[in-house]
């Protein structure tokens, strides 16, 4: 078990643990923040990143026990992994679209309003019909809300904050996803960063619209460890190994 102490990002801990776990197998329980700034939400990990790895053959199970928000945290996630690296990373042309709108210690209508606003914008702007999952929880030490939206291997997130209407939270995630879907590439710019270590280990290919500084740094580090990834930057950014 790993306890981040407060609202340290559980998804970022899992990003460090998963590549090693796929070689050896194992389970981990991490406590802290499930949805915090400058980090993917746990729903993004579960609905965007992990499905790509599962399609390549990885066996990963995520159990979201408690949600945790900044600054108090209190979230808890258990992950189990069967040993065995997946095959080459490949991104299908189409995928399911959905929303997870969640909260802790807030009125239930917050998640409803977030989801409704996001769904309306995605329908009007991108022509998408998204299945919405609402997860309003009571108890635990923290208070907050968030929404994760995705379509295939492209996703986006937004976090609530005091004074920000729930509708604006929902629309922020929807706008970000619509922008990703309108751009070139098979994955969103953040997933492109997160998949690089798996691409280096397992091979495959994918593309996105922008070469981020995170991706540049990761490619440089992977090459230093003997796992060079080819990066071709033109109208799209293509990664392969």
Task: Give the tens place of pLDDT for each residue, 48-73.
Answer: 999 999 999 999 999 999 999 999 99
Which contiguous run of DSSP H or E holds residue 87?
A: none
Supply the pLDDT for residue 81.
Answer: 98
pTM of the model: 0.96
pLDDT level of residue 148 (50, 70, 90 thresholds): very high
What are the structural domain ranges in the chain?
2-81, 97-182, 189-240
% of the chain residues with pLDDT over 70: 100
**So what's the pLDDT on residue 5?**
87
Residue 240 CB contacts under 8 Å (≥ 6 apart), including other chains: 199, 204, 205, 229, 230, 232
Per-residue pLDDT reduced to its tens digit, 198-229: 999 999 999 999 999 999 999 999 999 999 99
pLDDT at residue 127, as a whole number: 93
Mean pLDDT, the chain, whole residue set: 96
- 195 Cβ contact partners less than 8 Å away, ≥ 6 residues apart: 49, 52, 89, 187, 206, 239
- Reported as a pLDDT band with limits 50, 70 and 90, residue 94 is confident
Among 140, 71, 45, 144, smallest CA distance to 103 is for 144
d(CA 180, CA 128): 13
Find all residues with CB under 8 Å of 45, minimum gap 6, and list them.
11, 14, 62
Q: Which fold has domain 97-182?
A: Dihydrodipicolinate Reductase; domain 2 (3.30.360)
Report whether pLDDT(92) > 90: no
Residue pLDDT, tens place only, 106-141: 999 999 999 999 999 999 999 999 999 999 999 889
Asked if residue 93 has pLDDT above 80, the reply is no
Give the model confidence (pLDDT) of 15-24 as tens digits. Answer: 999 999 999 9
- pLDDT value, residue 157: 98
Active site residue 214: yes
Is pLDDT above 90 for 149? yes
pLDDT at 190 over 90: yes
Point out the catalytic residue in the list 109, 190, 209, 214.
Answer: 214
**Is the pLDDT at 240 greater than 80, yes or no?**
yes
């Amino acid at each position: 078990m790993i306890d981040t102490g407060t609202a340290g990002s559980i998804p970022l801990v899992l990003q460090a643990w998963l590549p090693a776990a796929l070689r050896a197998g194992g389970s981990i329980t991490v406590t802290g923040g499930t949805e915090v700034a400058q980090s993917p939400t746990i729903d993004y990990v579960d609905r965007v990143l992990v499905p790509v790895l599962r399609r390549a053959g990885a066996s990963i199970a995520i159990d979201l026990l408690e949600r945790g928000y900044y600054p108090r945290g209190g979230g808890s996630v258990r992950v189990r992994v069967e040993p065995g690296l997946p095959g080459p990373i490949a991104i299908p042309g189409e995928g399911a679209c959905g929303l997870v709108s969640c909260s802790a210690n807030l009125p239930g209508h917050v998640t409803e309003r977030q989801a409704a606003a996001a769904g309306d914008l995605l329908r009007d702007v991108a022509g998408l019909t998204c299945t919405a999952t609402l997860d309003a929880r009571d108890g635990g030490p923290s208070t907050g809300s968030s929404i994760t939206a995705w379509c295939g291997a492209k996703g986006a997130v937004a976090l609530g904050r005091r004074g920000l209407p729930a509708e604006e939270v929902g629309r922020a995630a929807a706008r970000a996803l619509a922008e990703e879907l309108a751009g070139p590439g098979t994955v969103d710019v953040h997933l492109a960063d997160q998949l690089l270590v798996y691409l280096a280990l397992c091979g495959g290919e994918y593309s996105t619209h922008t070469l981020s500084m995170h991706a540049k740094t990761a490619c440089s580090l992977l090459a230093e460890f003997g796992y060079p990834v080819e990066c071709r930057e033109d109208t799209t950014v293509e990664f392969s190994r």
